[in-house]
Amino acid sequence: MKATVLGAGSWGTTFAQVLCDAGTPVTLWARRPEIAAAISHGRENPRYLPGVVLPSSLTATADIVAALDGADLVVLSVPAQTLRACLAEWGPLVPPGSLLVSLIKGIELGTAKRMSELIREVLGVPESRVAVVSGPNLAREIAERQFAASVVACTDELSARLLQRACHTPYFRPYWNTDVIGCELGGTVKNIIALAVGIAVALGLGDNTKATLITRGLAEMARLGEVMGADPRTFAGLAGLGDLVATCSSPLSRNRRFGEYLGQGKNSAQARELTTQTAEGVSSYAPVLELARKHSVEMPITEVVAAVISGALPVGDAAAVLASRSAKPEWYGT
What are the phi and psi torsion angles at 333 (to 5°)?
80, -170
Whether the CB-CB separation of 141 and 248 falls below 8 Å is answered with no
Decide: helix, strand or coil at residue 328: coil
Nearest Cα residue to 301 out of 328, 319, 327, 280: 319
Other CB atoms within a 10 A radius of the CB of residue 34 amount to: 11
The order of strands in the sheet holding 130-134 is 59-61, 26-29, 3-6, 73-76, 99-102, 130-134, 148-153, 172-177
Alpha-carbon distance of 152 to 175, in angstroms, equals: 6
Residue 286 identity: A
What are the phi and psi torsion angles at 38 (to 5°)?
-65, -40
Find the catalytic residue in 2, 105, 113, 190: 190
Q: Is 294 a catalytic residue?
A: no
Other CB atoms within a 10 A radius of the CB of residue 121 amount to: 14
**Cβ-based neighbours of 145, under 8 Å, separated by 6 or more:** 21, 171
Geometric angle at alpha carbon 188, from 64 and 292, rounded to 5° = 130
Catalytic positions are: 190
